Amino acid sequence: MRPILAFEYFKLRKWMTTWILALILVGLIVLLYSVLWSISGQERTFGSHNQFTSEDLRRALFLQSAVPFSLSIVGSFGIILSVVLAAGAVGSEYSWGTVRLVATASRGRIRMIAAKLAMVCAFIAAGALAAVIVGVTYSAVITFANGGANLHFVTGSFLLDQLESYLRTLFVIAPYTALAFSLAVIGRSTMAGIGGTLGLILVEPIIGALMREAGGWWHEVPRAFPNSNLQIILAQNKLPDVLPRFGPSEEELARRGAYSWELAALLLVVYTVVFLVLALVAFRRRDITTG
């Protein structure tokens, strides 16, 4: 299995799209930090009741909140990039006409698809970690530039919280990554994976909002949507209230009657497993002699 993993690693590392996606994610982190740092230099107030000042915003950009804020960006916008990576990694084999050759060299279809999926997951985890490193570095610049260099908050429990936030973020990316991977396998193309998954990401909140407005039993349906449960998990990553949130708050989720985070996690696991099983079954049964 190790040679197959090394081969898939080599392909993803040499694939230009991988580096473009990484640059987009890093650039987004830098852009948002730059904009917020600029805003924090203005004399103004923020919040629905103007309860926050520019000083509050600047302090929220300090190191203590760097990891969860960076991960909130990854958990919201990084999902789209992970979808492109997952769909492209498997769909490109069909577009290049190399799927039969690679499957033969891997000595089995399942070994090939498992190695490809493992490398996609590894690159996504590395990308999320790179985003955190960039966010922490930029936050360190802001912290030291504003005289907030006290690191007394760095304790064992604090570091454990940051690790849990990182793992939660990777966890919520998994269902959509698995869906993109599965659709690319079933549709034999990168565009099937990207188009189908991004279409779902786009329409889920819209359809969910309409169903909640309809009331009755319709109101209960969106609670089972992947996006609804993803937001429940992401809400566990604590952010200062003054920082922008890219999803509903815990209060908003409670008003919607959201599930507990344990049930939300279970549903996301079920979605991920179902999508991956569909991909494996489809690829195992498919005639790939024609590519």
Position 244 scores a pLDDT of 77
Q: Where are the domains of the chain?
A: 2-285
Distance from the Cα of residue 87 to its chain's centroid: 14
Worst-scoring range by mean pLDDT, 89-98, 127-136, 162-171? 89-98
Q: Tell me the per-residue pLDDT of 22-65, one tens digit each, with 9 for 90 and over.
A: 999 999 999 999 998 888 877 777 766 667 777 888 888 888 88
In whole angstroms, give the CA distance from residue 202 to residue 273: 22
Position 290 scores a pLDDT of 47
In whole angstroms, give the CA distance from residue 8 to residue 30: 30
Is pLDDT at 264 greater than 90 in this prediction? yes
Predicted confidence band at 107 (pLDDT cuts at 50, 70, 90)? low
Give the up-direction half-sphere exposure of residue 160: CA atoms within 13 A in the CB hemisphere.
3
Torsion of CA 215, 218, 224, 226, to 10 degrees: -90
Read off the tokens for 193. 């994976």
Read off the tokens for 206. 């819209």
What's the whole-number average pLDDT of the chain? 85
Q: Tell me the per-residue pLDDT of 198-225, one tens digit each, with 9 for 90 and over.
A: 999 999 989 988 988 887 888 888 888 9
Is pLDDT at 66 greater than 70 in this prediction? yes
Is pLDDT at 291 greater than 50 in this prediction? no
Position 48 scores a pLDDT of 65
Cβ-based neighbour number of residue 215 at 10 Å: 8
Strand partners, 197: none
Q: Tell me the per-residue pLDDT of 129-140, one tens digit each, with 9 for 90 and over.
A: 999 999 999 999
